Structure 1
Amino acid sequence: MARVSARDRLLAAAERRFYSDGVNATGIDAITAEAGVAKMSLYNNFASKADLVSAYIEHRHTEWLALLDARTALAANDRDRVLAVFDAYLDHANDDYPNGFRGCGLLNAAAEFPAGDPGRAAVRAHKEEVERILIERIAPIAGPAAAPGLAEHFSFLLEGAVARAGLAGSPDLLLRARGIAERMLEVV
């Protein structure tokens, strides 16, 4: 059995606590206790809590891209490749969260950061990448000229649905958003 590094344990504990309790409400002591490591281990692996938060944001982004890659591999056609973006969000929503689904962990974290914070910029970059992915996947269906506008609609649909699903504590609204997107693709 492979031994999990202190860094990985700390990041996993931070992810659970940040998602469940929020970034600002989660202290270093709670993270180190949950990870089962000494406080010094945290500072040997992360320069500060801000550095740990940055690693959390990057990991959630990378994790979502892996979900998207897995869903894309199952896509049979261009339409399915677009809907894979929604499916990746659904997969994230259906993760086993100890205290329930609370919406997009990146948006939840960004809401806690002040304007100009690097964490907000990292979350914005993730959301912009999602929209670029949608543009690329919609272009073969709707054409390059129409793709940016439709991708923006899908991005708004997706982000609104994940926010509302988080408030409801259930991914059901994401399923509805996926259905709307599917119907929109049928008339393009």
Structure 2
Amino acid sequence: MGTTEGPRRITMTPAARRVLEAAGRLFYERGIHAVGVDLIAAEAGVTKKTLYDRFGAKEQLVVEYLADRDERWRAFLAERLDPARPARERILAVFDASHAWSVRHGSKGCSMVNAHAEIDDPSHPAHPIIVGQKRWMLGLFTELAQEAGAGRLAGTLMLLHEGALVAHGLKIFADPIGHAREQARALLAQVS
């Protein structure tokens, strides 16, 4: 995630978990800056004091939200990347997983991209999570593309994937993730 240690994380109590679930839903639906701790506390059924006792500050809550989202995405993706399948199929499975995730977890596009639109200061404690998640995705595409004998396509595959996530959130045209998947398939077919 950009540093060897990564951002500080907290231990989740049941109350902290409720706060995180409420914050995650609200941050994704409305935006990080648009959501205040009063609303998060009310949605979670806790006092503001409990929220601050558990998280210390809204910044830490943002860290936990993004780290949790990233961890859940990586686990979700890992379940769909069967190492026994050929690398080209696993590349396309990344797009399939993104489509399934977006159906299940949100219609507003990528939470990391959305967060970066609000948090572009590298000194913010959540910034390494945002950038780290995208570096991890590029590393995944690089590894898979190299296994598929198409290493030079790694960056292009990443751009197709990320562009599809943004277009999905903007709802400019139907099924951008499926369209990106087909473009990735066509590119891979051109590499012998």
**TM-score, normalized by the shorter chain, greater than 0.5:** yes
1:75 positional shift: 6.6
Whole-Å Cα distance in 2 between the matches of residues 114 and 72 of structure 1? 31
Distance 1:153 1:89, change over 3 A: same
Structure 1 spans left out of the alignment, 5+ residues? none
Q: How does 1:1-188 map to 2 (within 5 A)?
A: 5-73=14-82, 76-97=85-106, 101-116=107-122, 117-142=124-149, 147=151, 149-168=152-171, 172-188=175-191
Whole-Å Cα distance in 1 between the matches of residues 97 and 53 of structure 2? 34
The amino acid across from 2:108 in the alignment is: R
Distance 1:170 1:8, change over 3 A: farther
SS in 1 for 2:70: helix
Whole-Å Cα distance in 2 between the matches of residues 120 and 182 of structure 1? 32
Aligned residues: 178
Moved over 4 A (4+): none
Whole-Å Cα distance in 2 between the matches of residues 185 and 173 of structure 1? 18
Quick check: 1:104–1:163 contact (8 Å CA) kept in 2?
yes
1:170 positional shift: 7.6
Structure 2 spans left out of the alignment, 5+ residues? 1-12
Whole-Å Cα distance in 2 between the matches of residues 16 and 5 of structure 1? 17
Whole-Å Cα distance in 2 between the matches of residues 186 and 8 of structure 1? 45
Greater share of residues in helix: 1
The amino acid across from 1:174 in the alignment is: I
Whole-Å Cα distance in 2 between the matches of residues 171 and 85 of structure 1? 19
CA RMSD of aligned residues (A): 1.9
